[in-house]
Amino acid sequence: MADKHNLDIRRVAILFAGGPAPGANAVISTAAFSFLEEGAQVYGIKHGYSRLAEYTAAGPLQEGTDYIRFNHETLTHSRTSRGIMIGTARTNPGKHVSSPEDLEDAELVAPLRRVYEGLCSLEVDALISIGGDDTLKTANKLKMFQDRLPEGARRFPIVHLPKTIDNDYTGIDFTFGYFTAVETLAEEIRNLNFDASAGKSYFVCEAMGRSAGWLAYGAAIAGEASMVLSVEDVTGALAAEEVVNAETGEKRKVMAIDRVIDRMVDMMLAREREGREYGTIVIAEGLAEFLPSSHLEGIDRDDHGHINISSLHLGSMMADLVSKRYAERTGRSRKVNGLQMGYEARCAPPIAFDVLLGSQLGVGAYRALVEEKLNGVMVSVERQFDLKFVPFSDLVDPKTLVTKVRFIDPKSDFHRLARFLETCVDS
């Protein structure tokens, strides 16, 4: 059951955090427009939580530098524009809070308190949070922080709008920007297919998708790739275990790299039998998390505990292994190129579907806060863009405050579609 509020919302803040996604401005502008039409003031907080998390120490918030005031002129022609009109950042003010008990610790919640005080200084009546699962966790923690304030303290409701080109969000079928990103990467793969054909070579394309394989699978299907593998495929013969603590015997699941590489080479040989000596292989960057620890030495982690995947060059690493294994098995050489894809898709011009979806989510923020008087919900859509509002409590683990990742179901027809269309390899 979602919480309710009884506020007359006359001033609202909109904040975007995390990586960019096509359609971001459709979300921001329609949310702002909805409130402007009702005579409310709308503030766009610039660059995520980066300035709010330093409030007090860095002084009062400055208009133009730390936030902007939306008006109808600033929103003109913005719905279909690329980029993020208020910028973004990955600052995580809730990174030290990993349980409800931590919210009682003044030191651990200090960054959240600064965010709260910064927003209070603008006298906002509500916050619209736009971002991925980490930003959803922050929104939930900020709400829980306010729930624990003394009676009579200022409180403002929070609604969250889901964003990620990875499409791995629980509570919504597709996130805005996903299909634009898929089309952008698919076009690259289609180009690489012709390049590979001309030179009788292969490309190993590393696609974004830290936790799940939606983007890799979508791009591979639409781009007519020869094979696609993601974290959901690290199972059965492609999975192994590695001891991470000799004293306790604790283990973690890792890729059986030799078997993964052999599967790729099997595919190459199958295509050769069909007269095709070229192809593209798409892998999700999240496979890096399943590398044996020997491959992760010296790799740093971000505020959310994620390894720095961009510094790992997984595509190039896998391409080198495939090339060597192919030579070992055939006695011949085959050029295999590795490359990273993804950043070029995050600010691509949004296709109509993502503009429609983003617009509905933006309007959904207004309807959740003003029409439904809700607090602590994520705006979602189902069927033909019908709005629904999902309580944070349905999306976040109450003990760990961690969100639930939505993986591709290996038994789903979507997963089977990729297997059906790619080059057949005997299991």
The C-alpha atoms of residue 262 and residue 3 are separated, in whole angstroms, by: 53
The C-alpha atoms of residue 384 and residue 346 are separated, in whole angstroms, by: 25
**Which pLDDT value is given to residue 305?**
63
Phi, psi of 319 (to 5 degrees): -60, -40
Sheet arrangement for strand 377-382 = 67-69, 41-45, 11-16, 126-131, 158-162, 377-382, 386-391
* CA angle (284 as vertex; 282, 287 as ends), nearest 5: 125
Q: What is the pLDDT of residues 78-92, one digit of tens each?
A: 999 999 999 999 999
Give the residue carrying structure tokens 């503009």. 355
Q: Among 80-89, 207-216, 259-268, 319-328, which is the least confidently predicted range?
A: 207-216
For 203, the 3-state DSSP assignment is strand
pLDDT surpasses 60 at 303: no
With beta carbons less than 8 A apart as the criterion, state whether 338 and 318 touch.
yes
- Report domain 182-346+409-421's class: alpha beta
* CA angle (129 as vertex; 126, 130 as ends), nearest 5: 150
CATH topology of domain 3-175+350-394: Rossmann fold (3.40.50)
Domain limits, the chain: 3-175+350-394, 182-346+409-421
pLDDT band at 222 (very low <50, low <70, confident <90, very high): very high
pLDDT band at 291 (very low <50, low <70, confident <90, very high): confident
pLDDT surpasses 60 at 304: no
pLDDT band at 211 (very low <50, low <70, confident <90, very high): confident
Q: Do domains 3-175+350-394 and 182-346+409-421 have the same CATH topology?
A: yes
With beta carbons less than 8 A apart as the criterion, state whether 196 and 230 touch.
no
Q: What is the pLDDT of residues 134-162, one digit of tens each?
A: 999 999 999 999 999 999 999 999 999 99
Query: Beta 250-255 vs 239-245: how paired, if at all?
Result: antiparallel
Secondary structure of 295-324 as H, E, C letters:
HCCCCCECCCCCECHHHCCHHHHHHHHHHH
- Both tokens of residue 283? 């892998």
Q: What is the pLDDT of residues 308-318, one digit of tens each?
A: 776 678 899 99
